[in-house]
């Protein structure tokens, strides 16, 4: 068996975590850019991952604070997965990735960084987006600043969700 070492992740693992849940954002959109929230829907929200694997790494979460998918209503589940689908479409149109990782980590043992609130990762991928820099130099190459990515994606989300209404 081969091992892939990811030493850059230890910074996130050991870092002090903010108090409270990052997905329990309240009602006011006045801090959306600061919190990296791109969309607030009927039952779920979309935010950029502050510790992305690649540019455009999104997280979609229900408003309901739960770690258990069984506690979500059918309407919440439908809104959650419709939002994931729309995220994939928006990223395809704005960033032209060659693939996607879309997944849910349920529980700390499964890799959930925030294990008390269900959320879905939508990660755009390009051939060659992982390279020797991460393995050899303990560096992840992010070609675009996080807030630049936010400002680039926000109009697409605003437009797409207006059409979806």
Spell out the domain ranges in the chain: 35-159
Instruction: For 106-123, write each residue's pLDDT tens digit.
Output: 888 877 788 889 999 999
Instruction: For 50-59, write each residue's pLDDT tens digit.
Output: 888 888 999 9
Q: What are the CA-CA distances from residue 141 to residues 59, 100, 165 (Å)?
A: 20, 18, 37
Beta strand spans in 43-160 (E): 44-48, 58-62, 99-103, 120-125
Say which residue the tokens 């959306």 belong to. Answer: 32
For 74, the 3-state DSSP assignment is helix
- Rounded (5°) CA angle 93-98-101: 95
Measured CA to CA, the distance from residue 104 to residue 139 in angstroms comes to 25
The set of catalytic residues is 119
Among 3.30.428.10, 3.40.50.10800, 3.40.47.10, 3.55.40.20, name the CATH number for the domain at 35-159. 3.30.428.10
Q: How far apart are the first and last CA of the chain?
A: 49
Q: Is the pLDDT of residue 27 over 90?
A: no
pLDDT value for 143: 65
pLDDT value for 120: 95
The secondary element (H helix, E strand) that includes residue 15 is none
pLDDT value for 5: 61
138-151: average pLDDT: 75
Rg (CA), the chain: 16
For 37, the 3-state DSSP assignment is strand
pLDDT value for 146: 85
């Amino acid at each position: 068996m081969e091992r892939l070492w990811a030493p850059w992740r230890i910074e996130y693992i050991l870092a002090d975590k903010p108090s409270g849940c990052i997905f329990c954002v309240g009602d006011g959109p006045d801090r959306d850019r600061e919190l990296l929230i791109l969309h607030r829907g009927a039952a779920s929200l979309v935010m950029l991952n502050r510790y992305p694997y690649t540019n455009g790494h999104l997280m979609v979460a229900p408003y309901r604070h739960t770690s258990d998918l069984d506690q979500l209503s059918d309407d919440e589940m439908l809104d959650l997965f419709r939002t994931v689908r729309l995220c994939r479409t928006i990223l395809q149109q704005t960033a032209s990735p060659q693939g996607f990782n879309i997944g849910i980590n349920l529980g700390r043992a499964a890799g959930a960084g925030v294990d008390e609130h269900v959320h879905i990762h939508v990660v755009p991928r390009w051939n060659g987006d992982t390279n020797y820099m991460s393995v050899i130099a303990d560096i992840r190459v992010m070609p675009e600043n996080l807030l630049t990515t936010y400002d680039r994606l926000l109009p697409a989300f605003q437009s797409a969700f207006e059409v979806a209404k």
